[in-house]
Structure 1
Amino acid sequence: MDALMLEGWTPILLIGIAIAIIIFFVSRKISRKALILISIVLSLVCVGIVIYSLVVVRGWEGIGLLFVTFSGFVGIWIGTISGFIFKGK
């Protein structure tokens, strides 16, 4: 039963994990200031998508878009923080 409940959430979780991994590898190649700038810009894009999903889309489709955006937002900042921690400079 639990596996069936997780099945619908798998794409949303994979989006967050993929974004965290991408940001982590990007953080290894760029400076800290550039990483923070990229993370803030992507976070603002996420906030814009949340506003769009609440105002324009509405309904269940808007809630689905909200969950995907929130997963991406969490992935952005997990990747950013882990990049800071493991970069070591």
Structure 2
Amino acid sequence: MDVLMLDGWTPIIILGIIFAIIMFIISFKVSKSILFLITIIISLFCIAIFIYSFGQVGGWGGLILGFYSIGAFFGTWIGGIIGLIKKLINKE
């Protein structure tokens, strides 16, 4: 059963999947330029949280917060790219 839980990585992976799904849904409702703007803003916010987590929080709490921000960062970009590709394929 421990193998299925991935030893504590599950919340980070789920957060990335949630952000990917949200960006995928948003990609169908807005234009490409707005999607890129939203992705950049969320990415900058994730980078700021990552820097804050190691600079100000420190310790294990900062490490976990940094991993959460990395999961959200990758989920945001993966969802945005997949949504954009799906939108371009449907257009043709």
* TM-score interval for Structure 1 and Structure 2 normalised by the shorter chain: over 0.9
State whether structure 2 residue 75 is matched by structure 1 residue 75. yes
Equivalent position SS for 2:22: helix
Tell me the distance in 2 between the aligned counterparts of 1:7 and 1:27.
33
- Point out where structure 1 has 5 or more consecutive residues left out of the alignment: none
Detail structure 1 runs of 4+ shifted over 4 Å in the superposition: none
TM-score by length of 2: 0.90
Aligned to 1:44: 44
- What count of residue pairs does the alignment treat as equivalent? 89
Aligned to 2:27: 27
CA offset digits 1:35-56 (Å, max 9, x no partner): 0000000000011101110111
Q: Percent identity?
A: 52
Aligned to 1:6: 6
CA offset digits 1:8-51 (Å, max 9, x no partner): 11111000001000100000010000000000000000111011
Equivalent position SS for 1:28: helix
Aligned to 1:66: 66
Equivalent position SS for 2:29: coil
TM-score by length of 1: 0.93
